[in-house]
Amino acid sequence: MQATVQAVAEWSGAEGLSGRSASEGLLLTGVSTDTRTIKPGQLFVPLRGERYDGHDYIRTAAEAGAAASLWDSGLPVPDIDIPLILVADTLLALQALAVGYAGSLSAKVVAVTGSNGKTTTKDFVSAVLSTKYLVHKTDGNFNNHIGLPLTILRAPSNTEILVLEMGMSAKGEISLLSKMSRPDLAIITNIGESHLLHLGSRRNIAKAKLEIADGLKPGGTLFYYGDEPLLSEEIAANGELNKLKTVTFGENPGNDWNARYIRVTAEETHFSIAGEGDVSFALPVAGRHNAINALAAIAVGRHMGLTFDEIREGLASAKLTGMRIERSAAKNGALILNDAYNASPTSVKAAIHLVAELTGYRRKWIVLGDMLDLGPEEEAMHGGIGRGLNDAKADAVLLYGPLSKNTYSEAKSNFPEGNVLHFGEKEALADYLLERLEKDDLVLVKASRGMRMEEIVSILQKGARG
């Protein structure tokens, strides 16, 4: 963002200015909420959290080069030599500022949500559209009520397409993000079990994800996973949603875009699409589910006027966010598939299916930690994962976390004795695997974010603990 103090004051709904005189024409060159990373010339936005108040760090921000700051008008104004833009609430002002700045751009907005695969789909969409347009996308998972406005505000003024990821944990959150960003195109990747703890049912999750249409611009298009009946049912039952232009994608032939002949290796995923001839694609990441994520990007690319050659080029060169089937090598050369960013029953089953499809390894290890935030059925869901595991899919399964005891109980009878183990300590699991892993092995590591299973990946890569 490049904008004057006056423009920032107008966009953020400021009540007034305080501080250095003649500051309205001062040009600001970015936004930061963190004094540790703020750069000279940027606007500082002091936010409040449970254990901190950014207003306490205003002098640190000024010393680091902040050119101006938002400031809660209910607080005493400090004696400081930078202009303060007085607002009723700094978080709401940040969000309003993002809306104002987005309105000053000529960029089209593509919004992406879903229970699983939204970050990978965002990366695919960005890679595809970047072959023809200047694209700015969500960095990492800056996908909430703070991260999304910051993403918008970090977009260069010449941005042609904004690709924004939208995350949620409760009803109403996607609606807020959609209304803030006003997308031209919206994508729902799928409906899984994440957030059952807060939303109670998959149908409620579907309704919450469909909030992405709340801010859709007139004439906008909703792209959604057509293999999910809940989405189709909710759209058909909702008069407003039923009026939208929609495009479906999935494996079922009835979708507008469907993937077929999916073939997976440890390095790539190959598939074809039907509808406009038989066109083939290759992805630089493993997983049948990633063919469906890429299908959303193909549909959006064609909608935006790209050729299949441009789309193919974009998908082949896509750089994916870490810990999503991320390939690396253990110290001894064994292949590690790090999928430890998050986990739900749907995504765990997809990862297990991937391991089952891969061949040519001495032993295949599946390392699973707990799936969190699943609500009252969490034990049964972990047990269901165990029942779906057997020695035709992997040679051994190593489990960590209290909920994964249910996976252990259901899986152990499907394997030779001793090939399914549960560990009370992460370090003990890592030590066990280190002693037995060989260079021709494959190991998948998968769990919810809170389990921090990437620590096991790090140990395997170093070949030792510590």
Residues annotated within the binding site are 114-120
7/153 Cα distance (integer angstroms): 13
Q: How far apart are CA 259 and CA 248, in angstroms?
A: 12
Distances in whole angstroms, Cα of residue 313 to Cα of each of 87, 213, 317, 318, 441: 46, 30, 6, 9, 32
- Sign of the C-alpha dihedral computed for residues 410, 392, 341 and 121 taken in this order: negative
For residues 131 and 127, give the distance between their C-alpha atoms in angstroms, rounded to a whole number. 7
Burial class (CB in 10 A: 0-12, 13-18, 19+), 86: buried
Cβ atoms of 4 and 25 within 8 Å: the answer is yes
* Residue 293 neighbours by CB under 8 Å, 6+ apart: 117, 120, 121, 124, 189
Pairing of strands 245-250, 257-264: parallel
Per-residue DSSP letter, 441: -
Q: Which segments are annotated as binding site for ATP?
A: 114-120
What would you report as the CA-atom Rg of the chain, rounded to the nearest whole angstrom? Answer: 24
Provide CB contacts within 8 A for 80, sequence distance 6+: 19, 58, 59, 62
Q: Taking Cα atoms as reference points, which of 155, 218, 229, 217 lies closest to residue 190?
A: 229
